A and B are shown apart, each in its own frame.
Chain A
Amino acid sequence: MSGDTTPPSDTALERLFYHGEKVRLVYWREFSGAKTAVLLTSLVAVLAFVTGLSNLSREVRYDGPLAAVIPGDPGFVQFTGVLLAFVLAGLVFGLQRRKRLAWYLTLLTLPLVTLLPLTTFQTTDVPLLVLLAVAVPLLFVNRSAFDQRIELSSLQIASLSSVLGVGLYGTVGSYVLREQFGELETWGDAVYYVIVTVATVGYGDITPLTTEAKWFSLSVIVFGTGAFTVAIGALIVPAIEKRMAAAFGNMTPSELSLLEDHVLVLGYGDITESLLEELADETDVVVVTPDSDRASALDDRDVNVLTDDPTDESVLEAARIGDASGVVVATRDDARDVLTILAARKANPEVRIVAAANDRRHVDKLEQVGADEVISPMEIGGRLLGRSILDGGSALSPLEDEEG
């Protein structure tokens, strides 16, 4: 038994203890991603809700380290658990979409969530604290994953800022005029009055007493409710539109309204995929096809689609053919191509129309009805094949020569 012979390995050892790669205690990379951070945040929301409800459901002593620091009645802390849970639920929605703003707000909200457990410090509060101790660092570590900006339309920005403006105007104004209001004494009363008024609830506990105050209140009602209603519409309608559109594989009118200098691809045929690849990096593309299966498949890949008949001029106008930089007509059927070219030419006499002929005998016919250029993919393919076998060179070189 000398030391330098290679020892035979024990089968039990190899089979049970040494197979495959290195064994780690925790495979951190699987558990420390942004997904886990979002999941933990949503768990915090659930736990904050349950803990808050649990504390509300019975008599609680205030044993925690923060109980002495909190000014006033610590009872209001009871409600923060449930309230912040709702806030967090909304933020989780944003985090799932990797929104930067949601990330910032979540990091602001999570410390507030500790307020409740650190004030009451019951047995039931500890899981929430432990979870928070894990969620906050994980969220911080994954900060680079939450990089999506919130994109608001000009209408949304305008309505939101006018709501804010009216709110400020109403609060400051009613506080300044507090002598002329019944039961309005503090800043809190002013905020309460403005929100109740703007939201069209109007309890009527605070009322203007003088004519000046009445005029002021009217202005808050007119501008405030107006801005409030518009803001709700501007924020919610696009979301609903998007849902509806996603179900049908359609673009929303607000998305369509943003199009300019785009290329319309009318019809979906064998060459559409390679066409889209070619165009994707260069310009915005909108595909119009009546085939709803194709449409939703394209929509899933974030290609702009309109599920409708491309031979209908009103559809082409909805796709903003007037602002388009070009139109490609390529359905599977040359007869439909003719109708489509006619419709496109009628909707925009100026636009450049390129068509693909499925049969090369139809090239001149398509030109006659208004296409600026007609290409027969079959003919080009056949020529390339022939050139390639005769010259022995690359099949693509003749194409480049032609272009040159």
Chain B
Amino acid sequence: MVVELGHFALVLALVVAAVQMVLPAWGARRRDGRLMSVAEPAAMAQLLLLILAFAALTHAYVVSDFSVQNVAANSHSTKPLIYKISGVWGNHEGSMLLWVLILALFGAAVAAFGNNLPATLKANVLAVQASIALAFLLFLVTTSDPFMRLDPAPADGNGLNPILQDPALAFHPPFLYTGYVGFSIAFSFAIAALIEGRIDAAWARWVRPWTLAAWMFLTIGIAMGSWWAYYELGWGGWWFWDPVENASFMPWLAGTALLHSALVMEKREGLKVWTVLLAILTFSLSLMGTFIVRSGVLTSVHAFAVDPARGVFILGILMLFTGGGLAMFALRAKELRQGGMFAPISREGSLVLNNVLLVTAAATVFVGTLYPLALEGLTGDKISVGAPYFNMTFVPLMVPLLLALPLGPILPWKRGDLFAAMQRLWFAALLAVLAAIAAFALSGAKASLAPFGIAIGVWVLAGAIGEWLLRIKFFEAGREEIVRRARNLPRSAYGTLLAHFGVGLMVLGIVATTAYREEHVLVMKPGDKVEAAGYVVSFKEATSGRGPNYREELASFTVTRDGAPVTELVPSKRIYDMPPQPTTEAGIHNSWRGDLYIVIGDQQLEGGGYAVRVYFNPLVRFIWIGALIMFLGGAASLSDRRLRIGAPVRRAKKGAVPA
């Protein structure tokens, strides 16, 4: 009964989306207030209906209703409750339902908080938003119905893929989707602006908080995915340039560019046309990400359903919105008047450089991800494009970006002096050079480019701190003045500083892990020892055990350093009951210096030894801590009064809720 109710709510949401798409847009055209006012209640109704549908599916999972095909295929009665719930979006149908739910959530948020938007703009934005929802609801209802019944119902379900039974992964998709789907708002605003043929600084002020919120969630979602891959897949790496990873990384790159270009538009009314284009591209890349993951066209660690009908449908949606968006852009962009002159060396100039480099980087990732597909389609040759390609193309683009990063915020708007900016950051440059010398002295000729990478990381870090010190006049003013300035510095400025600081940390982590990682692969028997990065790892014993829904072989290792015990690590190999699939659980010892990471392979036939991999990943934590700090920077910026939804007219209401 609940299931039918959910199904009904889903279909009803589709109808509501259709109404929300047509009436408000028509009303905006005819300047008919009554038609336009349909948008808000429709957006709310759509959200409520989808919450109902999602709750119905979740209920079916929680009570293990195996008469629902989706539940039977992806759940099992003995699964822990949290994975019953996360199982809702651990499969194709459920995750698409989550996708439209988040889409509706963003639409409803615009309806609820966009009180001071011009009526026609709001109506158009909600109509465009509804058109996206309509396309995906059609997709759900026709090709991926999550409420399909199964008759007769099986006694028990197939279970969830065990590598997905993990706390970080349970919440990775919702974050990622919130990021992906959040960019739909930027897209809807861009299309609405093109429909109206008018765009101004206020537009950027409305769009930026949404983009920022989406960007924050995407950042944390990608970081969670990478962290999960690091400790769960047992390969010791944190990023594989896998198509599905790239699918989320491309919108992130474009979205980061969008955040920065919207800044120019808001502050200086410049880059209007470009910002609109970027908004369209960012959401198109999000759609493409959905297409790549959902169609399974590319082999990947987590390719989901491989169903041609679904792939074609999503490809259709992708073409409709990307093609339609770009066509609108081509037709109407010239009506958007340009403003704000600036010299090449200026804050705007540096933000343009940021945009060019980020978008180019996104383009190289795009080529590397889709080239195999294109080539197979054209010549039938099957190829793979691996990490070497991305290291050769992506990294050289990031170097100038990171070198310029600390200078940009120091440059004044309109016209700046590069030399003066560099002088002001001389101490950051000095620190970077010192770090490079230290890294070189420590590592010798082992990794020739690494000291340079370390220097870049330190330059970005010290640059962020340096900018803060300069802004609070730390070297010139008295203590009271410094405190007053530190307090009065707007939160959005702290947001930028934090985010840039996070980038610096991440760069340090990436460079150190990549260049100075230690890896030992060997066969060990109980009693054997191996040395790694100053630790002595000795294999104590091999045992076997049982968890709630798996059995496992465990190997325990004692770790000592300079004779003193550090910890005991117990990596294992698990075989889940349902589905019976093996997984590797790594034993990881975290410290600020880096992670000691041990995984075991198969037991050797003779002598009872195990194949063992021991890694030391220096500073690897910095990667995820950097991402977290970037997220916090976004949050700080979002909490800035001037950025709140409703700020464009100057009456910041008390208690106005930020997005």
Do A and B belong to a common assembly? no
Interface of B toward A, CB cutoff 8 Å: none
